[in-house]
């Protein structure tokens, strides 16, 4: 009986997520079309609403092409691993004060750990493809994700200090009176830029730079295996949007409807940035992570700790 309930809970979490990812891709194409003054998808279904399902069916029916000199087992495993890691991290996110699928006091650490594991799928894809372009894209992506993963972890530390917990429900509960985006505005700005780099989105999409690397680490992938990478990327984008709302923007304190509107606004930010900003050079990307984000995040942590210790603002179970 417990296994049956677990399967039902997993499906209740994953099916809406996959549907949300499908419509996120449609929203991106529609918004980009509006900004660029063109129509976008409008043929399949009313207003083009069925276009994501048509694209998914097309990719599912296409032939899976395995490059002759690739390492076939690892080549096939890479997209499966990437999507699995992307979906597993959602098991630790809750959308109310009720328990998540895997509720514990350290669920934010588990989310960060799964986010870090996503690098291995990209490394596998680049190396197993046995292609120079794919390998260069994987190297770029690995360096970029490791660099910004460090900064991203330091950026959220002021929120953890204020909430005195690694639990997302406790962090949201600590924002009942005021959202952390107001006292921790510098961290919020750094986070919203770092999440673009963490998800390989423009203007930080150097691993997939079409003009330089054709398509980056997934250049050799086609059909359903490309779709798995596509789902993993957009799943990561949605996860980062939800994390920003939970950590800095009050979470679901004003109701689930307001929470979803906030997430949609962050998703719109992803699309708006892609449409309006040019891609950075790789040296600019790495300099931004190591020379600007890292010192600023460390400085703000020291400032936050100093303020909390000076005014004794810690919660009772975390007194100094």
pLDDT tens digits, 59-81 = 889 888 888 888 889 999 999 99
Query: What is d(CA 130, CA 134) in angstroms, rounded to the nearest whole number?
Result: 8
Are 137 and 50 members of one domain? no
Cα 309 to Cα 292: distance, rounded to the nearest angstrom = 26
**Confidence at residue 268, expressed as pLDDT on a 0 to 100 scale:** 94
Q: Which domain holds residue 3?
A: 1-61
103: its two tokens: 């509720």
**% of the chain residues with pLDDT over 70:** 91
Question: In this structure, are 55 and 78 located in the same domain?
Answer: no
The overall average pLDDT reported for the chain is 86
Same domain, 49 and 133: no
Residue 318 in this model has a pLDDT that exceeds 50: no
Percentage helix, strand, coil for the chain under 3-state DSSP, each rounded to 5: 70, 0, 30
Query: Quick check: 110 and 117 in contact, CB under 8 A?
Result: no
CA 302/CA 7 separation, integer angstroms: 44
201 and 307 together in one domain: yes
- Whether 197 contacts 285, CB under 8 Å: yes
The answer to whether the Cα torsion of 100, 103, 108, 110 is positive or negative is negative
Looking up tokens 């004060």 gives 97
Band of the pLDDT at 218, cuts 50, 70, 90? confident
215: Cβ contacts below 8 Å, ≥ 6 apart:
133, 137, 208
Considering only CA atoms, which of 170, 238, 297 is closest in space to residue 14?
A: 238
For residue 2, the model assigns a pLDDT of 64
Closest CA to 315 of 185, 115, 161, 109: 161
Residue 99 has a pLDDT of: 64
Other beta carbons less than 10 A from residue 156's beta carbon: 25
Q: State percent of the chain over pLDDT 90.
A: 34
More confident residue, 282 or 23: 23
Q: Give the mean pLDDT of 48-55.
A: 90
Which one, of 108, 120, 173, lies nearest residue 146 by Cα?
A: 120
* pLDDT score recorded for residue 184: 92
pLDDT digits (tens, 9 = 90+) for 222-255: 889 989 998 998 999 999 999 999 999 988 888 8
User: Do residues 1 and 138 share a domain?
Assistant: no
Predicted local distance difference test score (pLDDT) of residue 65 = 86
Show Cβ contacts of residue 179 under 8 Å, excluding neighbours closer than 6 positions: 248, 249, 250
Q: What is the mean pLDDT of residues 193-219?
A: 77
Final residue before a domain boundary, out of 29, 45, 61: 61
Q: Of 61, 88, 103, at which residue does a domain stop?
A: 61
Q: In terms of domains, do 221 and 102 share one? A: yes
Tell me the mean pLDDT in the region 22-49. 90
Based on the domain organization, do 205 and 291 belong to the same domain?
yes
- For residue 128, pLDDT beyond 70: yes
- Say whether both 48 and 171 belong to one domain: no
Gap between the Cα atoms of 161 and 128, Å rounded = 42
Counting the structural domains of the chain, the total is 2
What's the mean pLDDT in 101-119? 84
Q: Which residues contact 70 (CB under 8 A, 6 or more apart)?
A: 128, 129, 130, 131, 220
> Which structure tokens are listed for 298?
């460390």
129 and 36 fall within a common domain: no
Q: Where are the beta strands (DSSP E) in 7-151?
A: none
C-alpha torsion sign, points 83, 85, 91, 95: negative
Per-residue confidence band for 320, with pLDDT thresholds at 50, 70 and 90: very low
Q: Are 36 and 80 found together in one domain?
A: no
Residue-wise DSSP of 219-259: TT--HHHHHHHHHHHHHHHHHHHHHHHHHHS-TTTT-HHHH
Residue pLDDT, tens place only, 252-267: 888 888 999 999 999 9
- Which of 97, 78, 111, 118 has its CA nearest to residue 239? 111
Q: Tens digits of per-residue pLDDT, 166-188?
A: 888 889 988 988 899 999 999 99
Residues 15 and 108 in one domain: no
Would you say residue 213 has pLDDT above 80? no
Q: pLDDT-derived band of residue 100, with 50, 70 and 90 as boundaries?
A: low
CB distance 128 to 139 below 8 Å: no
Which of 31, 61, 91 is the last residue in one of the domains? 61
Q: Are 27 and 108 in a shared domain?
A: no
pLDDT of residue 314: 59
71 DSSP assignment: -
- 212: confidence class by pLDDT, cuts 50, 70, 90: low
pLDDT at 210: 62
């Amino acid at each position: 009986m417990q296994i049956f309930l677990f399967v039902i809970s997993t499906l209740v979490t994953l099916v809406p997520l996959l549907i949300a990812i499908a419509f996120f891709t449609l929203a991106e194409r529609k918004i980009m079309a509006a900004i660029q003054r063109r129509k976008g998808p409008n043929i399949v279904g009313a207003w083009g609403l069925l276009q994501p399902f048509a694209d998914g069916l097309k990719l599912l029916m296409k032939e899976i092409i395995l490059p002759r000199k690739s390492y076939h087992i690892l080549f096939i495993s890479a997209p499966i691993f990437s999507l699995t890691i992307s979906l597993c991290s959602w098991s630790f996110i809750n959308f109310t004060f009720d328990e998540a699928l895997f509720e514990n006091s350290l669920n934010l650490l588990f989310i960060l750990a799964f986010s870090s594991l996503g690098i291995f799928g990209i490394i596998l894809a680049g190396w197993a493809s046995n292609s120079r372009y794919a390998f260069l894209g994987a190297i770029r992506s690995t360096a970029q994700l490791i660099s910004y993963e460090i900064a991203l972890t330091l950026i959220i530390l002021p929120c953890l200090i204020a909430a005195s917990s690694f639990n997302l429900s406790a962090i949201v509960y600590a924002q009942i009176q005021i959202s952390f985006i107001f006292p921790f505005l510098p961290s919020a700005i750094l986070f919203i830029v770092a999440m673009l780099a963490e998800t390989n989105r423009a203007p930080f999409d150097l691993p997939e730079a079409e003009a330089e690397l054709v398509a980056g680490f997934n250049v050799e992938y086609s059909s359903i295996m490309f779709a798995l990478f596509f789902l993993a990327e957009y799943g990561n984008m949605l996860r980062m949007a939800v994390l920003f709302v939970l950590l800095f923007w009050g979470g679901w304190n004003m109701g689930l409807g307001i929470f979803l509107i906030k997430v949609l606004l962050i998703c719109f930010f992803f699309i708006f940035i892609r449409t309006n900003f040019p891609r950075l050079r790789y040296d600019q990307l790495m300099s931004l992570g190591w020379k600007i984000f890292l010192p600023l995040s460390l400085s703000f942590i020291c400032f936050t700790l100093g303020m909390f210790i000076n005014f004794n603002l810690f919660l009772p179970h975390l007194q100094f």
